[in-house]
């Protein structure tokens, strides 16, 4: 390929409109900043001027050819665009202002194509490399699936329009709450359900049942026809299915695993298998998943089947970018999951381990106990803990589900009972 896809006249028309000065120029620059990144320009000259214009805009300085030339000179980039003569050439032809949004769309579309080409080239290079990791290839393929529109056009709403929408919802019980209700009434009372665009953190010490609670919730939702994507970085897919079978039949998961069951038990398991055959549950048990890979898989599932909830079990096992400090890695992971919740307009439930200080002191958990917490508390809309004083014995174990943070509502405590045989939770009776 001699030249990657681009439209230099469209790029130059964008820069011309920005350099004209006046209110029309300001409006055009605002549109361009919303829709384009500097990297979307193929022309180095156009990209350099656009970056300088963004800098002026951020400082509240009107943009025209004079202020742009000053900014380019200060940054040492004036010669990069051909000096004053090169800058002046952008104004030799004045484009029609009404076509400006179209020019932006053209430049963005061709930029996406170039990025696809680069990603495809990367995938091809990995495929022919003898020592390349198949997991890395798969991650690159999944990342390419969602590459074309990472720069999503934002929606800016007028406050009056939003207030009318809120009033409309307040007067319509069917629209007033979009929360995803759980099987636990008191939890629903405190939270109004798991809300769209919310990141929910469920944390506990190892063995206290955070995975069990997430699986119980998942089983209840898919039984109600709500699609769930379960990203399990610890348990295998068959383990999750055995737990669901155990919960629905009363047989212990270990007994199901051991085999040699009686006919009645096998028939009960057959009924659960028939239920799961058509259940909208999508399990990914690949270890070392990254947020971009979770995002790519979740978007594919939503596009093909719809999606009501994402579960990530558990957060500290998600592979993050390289960093010297683990808390910085977790901060980027939690921020990525929060962005995913907002993008897909559904809740994301992320399980997390508590730090060892809580385990050593054997006390009720608090927000600071989130292991290597980074900004988990800051990013989360709701943080809940599981805690019980006595973890011994085979009887139903009283367990506290503690709502320690709730950005949009009440905090509190829900009394639960944990049944170890079937790894299920139920609300304790008053």
Bridge partners for 193 per DSSP: none
In CATH, what number is assigned to the domain containing residue 13? 1.10.860.10
Evaluate if residue 138 carries a pLDDT over 80: no
* Residue 164 within a domain: no
* Residue 163 within a domain: no
How confident is the model over 235-260, as a mean pLDDT?
83
CA angle centred on 372, ends 366 and 375, rounded to 5°: 80
Same domain, residue pair 239 and 134:
no
pLDDT category of residue 49 using cuts at 50, 70 and 90: very high
Same domain, residue pair 297 and 336:
yes
pLDDT category of residue 199 using cuts at 50, 70 and 90: very high
Q: What is the pLDDT of residue 176?
A: 57
Give the burial string for 72-97 (b: 16+ CB within 10 Å, else e): beeeebbeebeeeebbeebbeeebee
* Cα distance between residue 28 and residue 31, in whole Å: 5
Say what percent of the chain tops pLDDT 90. 32
Q: What's the total number of domains in the chain?
A: 2
Query: CA dist 356 to 115, 316, 329, Å?
Result: 44, 14, 19
Same domain, residue pair 385 and 264:
yes
Is 411 within 8 Å of 190 (Cβ atoms)? yes
* Residue 85 within a domain: yes
Say what percent of the chain tops pLDDT 70. 86
* Residue 87 within a domain: yes
Same domain, residue pair 141 and 24:
yes
pLDDT tens-digit map of 317-336: 888 776 667 777 788 888 88
Q: What is the pLDDT of residue 360?
A: 61
Mean pLDDT computed over every residue of the chain? 83
Same domain, residue pair 376 and 418:
yes
Tallying the residues shown for the chain, one arrives at 430
Between 289 and 140, name the one with better pLDDT. Answer: 289
Q: What is the pLDDT of residue 66?
A: 92
Residue span of the structural domain in which 110 resides: 1-156
Q: What is the pLDDT of residue 151?
A: 43
* Residue 171 within a domain: no
How confident is the model over 111-115, as a mean pLDDT?
88
* Residue 50 within a domain: yes
Is 417 within 8 Å of 426 (Cβ atoms)? yes
In CATH, what number is assigned to the domain containing residue 408? 3.40.50.300
């Amino acid at each position: 390929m001699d030249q990657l896809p681009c439209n230099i006249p469209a790029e130059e028309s964008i820069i011309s409109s920005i350099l004209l000065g006046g209110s029309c120029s300001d409006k055009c620059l605002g549109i361009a900043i919303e829709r384009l990144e500097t990297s979307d320009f193929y022309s180095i000259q156009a990209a350099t001027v656009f970056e300088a214009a963004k800098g002026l805009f951020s400082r509240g300085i009107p943009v025209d050819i004079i202020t742009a030339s000053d900014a380019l000179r200060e940054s040492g980039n004036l010669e990069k665009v051909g000096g004053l003569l090169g800058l002046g050439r952008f104004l030799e032809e004045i484009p029609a202002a009404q076509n400006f949004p179209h020019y932006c769309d053209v430049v963005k579309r061709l930029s996406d194509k170039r990025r696809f080409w680069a990603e495809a080239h990367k995938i091809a290079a990995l495929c022919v490399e003898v020592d390349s990791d198949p997991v890395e290839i798969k991650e690159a393929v999944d990342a390419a699936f969602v590459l074309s529109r990472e720069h999503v056009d934002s929606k800016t709403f007028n406050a009056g329009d939003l207030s009318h929408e809120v009033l409309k919802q307040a007067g319509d019980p069917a629209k007033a709450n979009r929360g995803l209700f759980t099987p636990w009434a008191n939890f629903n009372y405190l939270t109004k359900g798991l809300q769209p665009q919310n990141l929910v953190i469920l944390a506990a010490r190892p063995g206290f049942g955070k995975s069990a609670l997430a699986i119980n919730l998942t089983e209840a939702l898919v039984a109600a026809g709500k699609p769930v994507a379960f990203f399990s970085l610890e348990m295998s897919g068959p383990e999750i299915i055995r737990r669901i079978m155990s919960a629905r039949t009363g047989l212990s998961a270990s007994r199901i695993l051991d085999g040699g069951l009686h006919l009645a038990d096998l028939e009960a398991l057959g009924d659960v298998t028939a239920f799961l055959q058509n259940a909208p549950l999508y399990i990914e048990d690949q270890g070392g998943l990254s947020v971009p890979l979770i995002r790519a898989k979740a978007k594919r599932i939503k596009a093909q089947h719809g999606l009501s909830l994402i579960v990530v079990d558990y957060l500290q096992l998600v592979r993050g970018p390289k960093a010297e400090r683990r808390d910085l890695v977790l901060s980027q992971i939690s921020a990525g999951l929060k962005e995913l919740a907002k993008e897909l307009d559904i809740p994301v439930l992320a399980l997390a381990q508590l730090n060892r200080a809580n385990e050593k002191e054997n006390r009720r958990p608090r927000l600071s106990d989130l292991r290597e917490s980074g900004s988990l508390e800051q990013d989360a809309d709701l943080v809940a803990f599981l805690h019980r004083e006595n973890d011994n014995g085979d009887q139903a174990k009283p367990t506290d589900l503690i709502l320690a943070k709730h950005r949009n509502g009440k905090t509190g405590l829900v009394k639960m009972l944990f049944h170890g045989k079937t790894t299920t939770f139920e609300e304790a009776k008053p």
